[in-house]
Structure 1
Amino acid sequence: MPNTLVPLPTPPPAGRAPEVCLVAGDAAAAVKLAPLASAMRARKQVRPVLLACGDDARAATEVLSGFGLATDVLVELVRDGQGTPQVAAQLLTGLDHAFADRPPAAVVVQGDSATAFSAAMAAFWRRVPVVHLDAGVRSFDLTAPFPQEGHRRLIAQVSSLHLTATPDAAANLAQECHGGPKVVTVGSTAVDAGFDALDRYVRHQDARVQAVENAVVAGEVRLGLVVLDAARWPDETAASVLHGIADLVLACPDLEVVLPIARGHLRHLAYDMLGRLVRVTITDPLPQPELVCLLSVAAAVVTDTSTPAEQAPSFGVPALLLGGEPGTWTEPQAVGHPWTAGGDRAVIARITEKLVLTHVERLTASPTDNPFGDGFAAIRCEQAVQWLLGLRDRPTEFTPR
């Protein structure tokens, strides 16, 4: 395979499965890695070693626990006001020690976080093959998102296997001369995680959220689900986003908004700007089963992370994905893809109101109608990792319908 780190690991002795390290730096990464870890454990051809590290290692551990997965290695990080270079240095040192203590046959990183980048580099320097999950995502602008776009491109340079969610992502890699058999389109494991979480749902722990869901199911109100990552937004842009949500609530008299958000500055800001609106429920971050259950009955979802946007088409729910410059917005490329917009008050309110008002009837789509996945991405990923390690043939790729 061109551009693949060689030599690849030699097959282990018969009866002994090679260990593959899956690195989760936050809750979002853990959601996407959990289905792959479960698939590896079910098939028993490779042994997953779950490593949590970074600022949100504890959150990643909690998410993995919700999927019935125990964290094998925890790399602690002490930020103490340090900037990105100092944090990256800590991550590199901690991950290098972890890989030295327990040498893996391959390392799987997800996305474009500083943790993913540091893990990829630490593995590369030890000549361990890097597998990049959610490879090929590009904005083609190194300044937005910053520094994530740079991380994506740099991880691609040292990866032995690129697992893309869509053919478009594979095409992005081809433009950078990453092609051939080492690029495998598998679909998004977020879709797998969504179906798994919905199967585990029982009821909401927060009685207010349960009351909202009951009213939605009874047809009394419509639901707007808002999922935001506090770390992504400077104060001024966050205020604009929340103003847009307030305008949306005032414009749609039958709309209930649920905003799960971690305790901190953004939550205080949300209470200041939305707390007086009776049709807004601000709650703690929800476990995946509860969050996906709300998503499945929502009229629309507004989010700044890819996971809910990729899960939404499986339930016929339109999505608005926030990011980019204020005032900018883009219509979906195809059916099932999200609208995109910058952190602009008027744009957010206008597009979301359009999505809510055009969502007249609930039509539950089959998994194959989701352009991001069919619920079998984790199995393809597991097979692709086996193929990289010389244990099986290359898997069949995901092709959206």
Structure 2
Amino acid sequence: MVNTLVPLPAPCPPGRVPEVCLVVGDAGAAVRIAPLAGAMAAGGRVRPVVLVCGHGAGAATAALAEFRVGTDVTVALAADGQPTTAAAAQLLAGLDRAFADRLPDAVVVQGDSATAFSAAMAAFWRRVPVVHLDAGVRSFDLTAPFPQEGHRRLIAQVSSLHLAATPEATANLAQEAHTGPKVVTVGSTAVDAALDAVERRVAHADPRVRQLADAVAAGYSRLVPVVLEAANWSASAVDAVLHGICDLVLATPDLEVVLPATGGLRARAEEALGRLVRVTITDPLPQPCLLGLLSTAAAVVTDSVTLAEQSPSFGVSALVVGGESGTWTEPSRPGYPWAAGADRAVVARITEKLVLSRRPAIPEQRVADGNPFGDGLAAARCAQAVQWLLGLRERPGEFVPARP
């Protein structure tokens, strides 16, 4: 295999099922790893071992449980608030001990977090093949996002198998000389998670959200979920987006907004939007409930790349907010999100455009086959690619987005 830094494992002896460690560091990674864990368990040719670690271990465990995936190993950090370097050192040591206690046949890391980077290095140093899920995401600027762009590139250097979600990600890897059979375009497992969650139709615990969802499904109202992490935003940027949502609601009489939030974001949301009847501010929603709302939405406003990848499966346009105030871009192709800086007027104007371009409809009428990020079969392709890496089957076919 071209450019494989870690020797491929020898075939397992008869009767032994290879163990593949799936590393999860936060709730976002859990959404993308859970479908892969399920596909591996269902296939039976490898045994998934789910390891959660870092400060986000509790949230990751809860998110995995929402997708009916259990946790096998936990690597905890001593305390919050320590410097990044100290946390990374502690995490590396903990992961190394975990791999020593239960040496896996391969380790799967997702994305570009410090957890993913630490797990990749710990596995590499023990000569365990590294599989990178969501490989090939690039800004080509080491300062933005920092340090994530550096993590992406460094993980690529020690990976034996790159699972790229889209052809664009595969092309990015090719620019860095990561080519050949070890790069597989699989689609986004986040799309698999969305379709699975909506199919299960989990009821909303909050009666306000349940009543609103019924009204939207019946066609009485339009819905815009506003889902923000805003972890690295300034207070002024958060306020600009929230006031843009306020302007949107006032300008669209049949529009309902659901905004899950906690902590400082919730306080600012209550201040900016709490007096509006058609805005429902809730505690953070379980992923299946949130995705159920997304499936009936007229549009979604978010800073989550995951939601932006999931929304086209339901024919829902996404506005991804963040970045420089006053800027905005149209999608480069159907299904891709709009983007806007944290600007009150821009957020209100673009979201209103997206909302008015679509009428409410029941979920069965909204599922689209043209999601450029995935088709719901990404986890199966990923599981097959890992089996191929371990010498258990032929290399799988690749994801090819539908033409617009």
Pairwise same-fold verdict (TM > 0.5): yes
Paired amino acid for 1:148 = Q
Corresponding residue for 1:245?
Answer: 245
Once the two structures are TM-superposed, the CA of residue 387 in structure 1 deviates from its matched residue by 0.8
Tell me if structure 2 keeps the 8 A contact 1:314–1:364. Answer: no
Query: After the TM superposition, which of the residue ranges 11-20 and 375-384 deviates more from structure 2?
Result: 11-20
Once the two structures are TM-superposed, the CA of residue 142 in structure 1 deviates from its matched residue by 2.1
Corresponding residue for 1:112?
Answer: 112
Deviations 1:62-103 (A, max 9, x none): 111122211001111234322222221221111111111111
Corresponding residue for 2:133?
Answer: 133
Distance 1:180 1:47 in 2: 27
Corresponding residue for 1:51?
Answer: 51
Paired amino acid for 2:294 = L
Describe the shift of the 1:165–1:35 C-alpha distance in structure 2 as closer, same or farther (beyond 3 A). Answer: same
Tell me if structure 2 keeps the 8 A contact 1:110–1:133. Answer: yes
- SS of residue in 2 equivalent to 1:340: strand
Describe the shift of the 1:144–1:68 C-alpha distance in structure 2 as closer, same or farther (beyond 3 A). Answer: same
- SS of residue in 1 equivalent to 2:15: coil
- SS of residue in 2 equivalent to 1:42: helix
Alignment TM-score, normalising by the size of structure 1: 0.96
Distance 2:144 2:345 in 1: 21
Corresponding residue for 1:201?
Answer: 201
Distance 2:157 2:238 in 1: 34
- SS of residue in 1 equivalent to 2:7: coil
Query: After the TM superposition, which of the residue ranges 38-47 and 120-129 deviates more from structure 2?
Result: 120-129
- SS of residue in 2 equivalent to 1:184: strand
Corresponding residue for 2:281?
Answer: 282
Tell me if structure 2 keeps the 8 A contact 1:367–1:373. Answer: no
Paired amino acid for 1:268 = A
Distance 1:34 1:320 in 2: 26
Paired amino acid for 1:299 = A
- SS of residue in 1 equivalent to 2:96: helix
Tell me if structure 2 keeps the 8 A contact 1:188–1:310. Answer: yes
Matches within 5 A, 1:258-337: 258-261=258-261, 263-337=262-336
Paired amino acid for 1:177 = A
Paired amino acid for 2:264 = H
What are structure 1's unaligned runs of at least 5 residues?
none
Corresponding residue for 1:371?
Answer: 372
Paired amino acid for 1:153 = R
Paired amino acid for 1:6 = V
Paired amino acid for 1:155 = I
Alignment TM-score, normalising by the size of structure 2: 0.95
Q: Percent identity?
A: 70
Tell me if structure 2 keeps the 8 A contact 1:330–1:339. Answer: yes
Distance 1:196 1:27 in 2: 17
Q: Is residue 337 of structure 2 the alignment partner of residue 360 of structure 1?
A: no
Matches within 5 A, 1:161-172: 161-172=161-172
Corresponding residue for 1:121?
Answer: 121
Deviations 1:289-330 (A, max 9, x none): 211110010000111112211111111100112233222221
Query: After the TM superposition, which of the residue ranges 359-368 and 175-184 deviates more from structure 2?
Result: 359-368
Once the two structures are TM-superposed, the CA of residue 124 in structure 1 deviates from its matched residue by 1.3
Distance 2:54 2:236 in 1: 26
Query: After the TM superposition, which of the residue ranges 197-206 and 35-44 deviates more from structure 2?
Result: 197-206
Once the two structures are TM-superposed, the CA of residue 194 in structure 1 deviates from its matched residue by 0.8
Distance 1:319 1:96 in 2: 40
Once the two structures are TM-superposed, the CA of residue 144 in structure 1 deviates from its matched residue by 2.1
Corresponding residue for 1:219?
Answer: 219
Once the two structures are TM-superposed, the CA of residue 5 in structure 1 deviates from its matched residue by 2.4
Distance 1:259 1:4 in 2: 45
Paired amino acid for 1:397 = E
Corresponding residue for 1:11?
Answer: 11
What are structure 2's unaligned runs of at least 5 residues?
none
Distance 2:179 2:366 in 1: 32
Paired amino acid for 2:124 = F
Once the two structures are TM-superposed, the CA of residue 230 in structure 1 deviates from its matched residue by 4.2
Distance 2:199 2:329 in 1: 33
Corresponding residue for 2:228?
Answer: 228
Distance 1:247 1:153 in 2: 41
Distance 2:308 2:356 in 1: 19
Once the two structures are TM-superposed, the CA of residue 163 in structure 1 deviates from its matched residue by 0.5
Distance 1:51 1:232 in 2: 27
Corresponding residue for 1:388?
Answer: 389
Paired amino acid for 2:250 = L
Distance 1:329 1:79 in 2: 39
Deviations 1:13-66 (A, max 9, x none): 112111111011111110110010000000111110001112211111011112
Number of aligned residue pairs: 400
Tell me if structure 1 keeps the 8 A contact 2:138–2:172. Answer: yes
> Cα RMSD between the aligned structures?
1.6
- SS of residue in 1 equivalent to 2:369: helix
Distance 1:26 1:51 in 2: 11
Corresponding residue for 2:31?
Answer: 31
Distance 1:383 1:135 in 2: 16
